[in-house]
Amino acid sequence: MPQVLVCGAGGQLGQELVATGPAHWQIIPMTRSMLDIADSDQVARALDEVRPAWVINAAAFTAVDAAESEPELAQRVNATGPEVLALQCRERNIRLLHVSTDFVFDGTQGCPYAPDDKPKPLGVYGRSKLAGEGAVLAAGGNPVILRTGWVYSRHGGNFVKTMLRLMAERAQLSVVEDQIGTPTWAKGLALTCWGLADHAEATGIYHWSDAGACSWYDFAVAIRAEALELGLLQQAAALLPIPASQYPTPAQRPAYSVLDKTSTRELLGLSGSQWTNQLREMLVDLKQQEQHVKHLS
């Protein structure tokens, strides 16, 4: 059975990749503590031991604001690591699927970004991810780069879980209304990764997120509505839409980062699911997890 080594297996996407791996692949999960992707010797040993057909790199430094004060760490994880993986994979004729971000764009285009649109990142995070993309492509070896954005799941920290916590604690929240993107459930993103791995002709840059677009405010409103209906929230916190200028952050974010998924849909034969439907499924998943934990305790 062919093997796939998943880097960053402890993260949101990594855990979903492991959980959704197709039966015809043997999944070898590697967490950050198990494999430092920026260490060439470690990567070489891991690849020689496993000899996978594919490496899927879900490892990333994704703390956008923290990257502004920790640029060296962001560069090491998001640029050096992918370069090391790409070079070591090329030497061994192993395919590499590297996950990147919508933050490689500046958000001024005003319509969905296609894979061949010119990147222009606004901050350290986006620049480090773009550098990683460039290193992967320069290494050769027929890699696949999959850009995505606004990823969330029941695992780890993300916007959905932060909103659920804050809405349970506070009577009122202010949420930015003039930054537009598309939420992406990590489970659907993982399935898209597996779809690309199953297509030998896949090469170059692809985009994936759920269907549609919204602001962070719209996203928060949907989270509140679904969580109330499922009983994940007991009170309806007031949500106030505000411009990004009233919520300053260390990192500048693109005002519009919706991705054009046409080429990915055509290759994989996918229609894509509306982001609101995916959010509902994730929250049902989260509720079942909470009930399971309560039952065990």
Cite the active site residues. 125
Tell me how far apart the alpha carbons of residues 130 and 139 are, in angstroms, rounded to a whole number: 14
Written in H, E and C, the secondary structure of the chain is: CCEEEEECCCCHHHHHHHHHCCCCCEEEEECCCCCCCCCHHHHHHHHHHHCCCEEEECCCCCCHHHHHHCHHHHHHHHHHHHHHHHHHHHHCCCEEEEEEEHHHCCCCCCCCECCCCCCCCCCHHHHHHHHHHHHHHHHCCCCEEEEECCEECCCCCCHHHHHHHHHHHCCEEEEECCCEECCEEHHHHHHHHHHHHCCCCCCEEEECCCECCEEHHHHHHHHHHHHHHHCCCCCCCEEEEECHHHCCCCCCCCCECCECCHHHHHHHCCCCCEHHHHHHHHHHHHHHHHHHHHHHC
Tell me how far apart the alpha carbons of residues 112 and 100 are, in angstroms, rounded to a whole number: 16
